[in-house]
Amino acid sequence: MSKPDGRLRLGVNVDHVATVRNARGGAHPDPVRAALLAADAGADGITAHLREDRRHISDEDIARLMTELKIPLNLEMAATEEMLSIALRHKPHAVCLVPEKRQERTTEGGLDVAGGHNYLAPYVRQLVDAGIRVSMFIEADARQLYASHSLGAPVVELHTGAYCEQPPGPTREAQLTRLQIAAAHAAKIGLECHAGHGLGFDTVKPVAAIPTLVELNIGHFLVGEAIFTGFESAIRQMRVAMDEARSPIKVRA
Ligand code: PXP
């Protein structure tokens, strides 16, 4: 849901706090503590991806996030029976269905909702029936938008990876145009539109300026930036960048 004041929501992804923790196998740094700090710093929601291989977020992290967070949890997961039963047990505010391959370093590319329509349908239906807001993590592509809509998912999240990977210049601009067109299209067919993946201070503003976007989900950059300026400060700076991108142009008298 968009914020009552029309501001773009910021979902902070805490996966990579868990990546650092898991490098040593102990309890520090705690992604739940990071999530609570993110809430204090202005995050509107927390995102966490429970991967099949549990390489970062653990089952216990999800259980603790569910009990300790006072802001909504967006659980990212693959469409598998195991993940579905976890989601139905915890009933987070939102579930974002993502593609997952064991060998990938991160979520490479969006979910092929058009190609996997029949496979995905029962997952979307059961999650929606449980009162969970379902989003589909897709490429900025009209076919994927229509397929998500026809499945009854109320939300799509556009994959911004292809845009963020480009150097500044025409190729990045072309990817931005794709995102702008898809976000406008999503709103036209009644889908709430989010975006995320790979966003940082140098890439966030043009995306945040897309008027039909309701939420951005950002993680890796913020966790990396925390090394230099602290997690809270990085989140606050990101919030400012997003607000600046949305503020109306001041016309001089
Ligand atoms: N949105 C989705 C659906 C994702 O899978 C991820 C990465 O886990 C993100 C947003 C955040 O991406 P990043 O960590 O690159 O900011």
Omega before 168 cis (within 30°)? no
Tell whether 120 is covered by a domain. Answer: yes
Tell whether 109 is covered by a domain. Answer: yes
Tell whether 4 is covered by a domain. Answer: no
pLDDT reported for residue 253: 47
CATH number, domain of 34, equals 3.20.20.70
Ligand 1 centroid vs 88 CA: distance in angstroms?
22
Cα separation, 200 vs 184, in Å, equals 22
The residue to mutate among 13, 106, 139, 157, having the most atoms of ligand 1 within 8 angstroms of its beta carbon, is 13
Tokens for 223? 């966790």
Catalytic site includes residue 49: yes
DSSP 3: -
87 Cβ contact list (under 8 Å, min separation 6): 75, 77, 95, 127, 130, 132
Tell whether 251 is covered by a domain. Answer: no
| CB-based pocket (< 6 A), ligand 1 | 13, 15, 49, 76, 96, 98, 106-107, 137, 157, 196-199, 217-221
Over 70: is that where the pLDDT of 102 sits? no
Over 80: is that where the pLDDT of 252 sits? no
Q: Which residues pair with 74 in a beta bridge?
A: 47, 94
pLDDT reported for residue 38: 98
Tell whether 50 is covered by a domain. Answer: yes
Tell whether 3 is covered by a domain. Answer: no
164 Cβ contact list (under 8 Å, min separation 6): 197, 198, 199, 200, 203
pLDDT-derived band at 109, boundaries 50, 70, 90: confident
pLDDT digits (tens, 9 = 90+) for 166-196: 999 999 999 999 999 999 999 999 999 999 9
pLDDT reported for residue 130: 98
The boundaries of the domain holding residue 53 are 9-246
- Count how many domains the chain has: 1
pLDDT reported for residue 251: 52
102 Cβ contact list (under 8 Å, min separation 6): 52, 53
pLDDT reported for residue 32: 98
Tell whether 200 is covered by a domain. Answer: yes
Tell whether 129 is covered by a domain. Answer: yes
More confident of the two residues 103 and 243 = 243
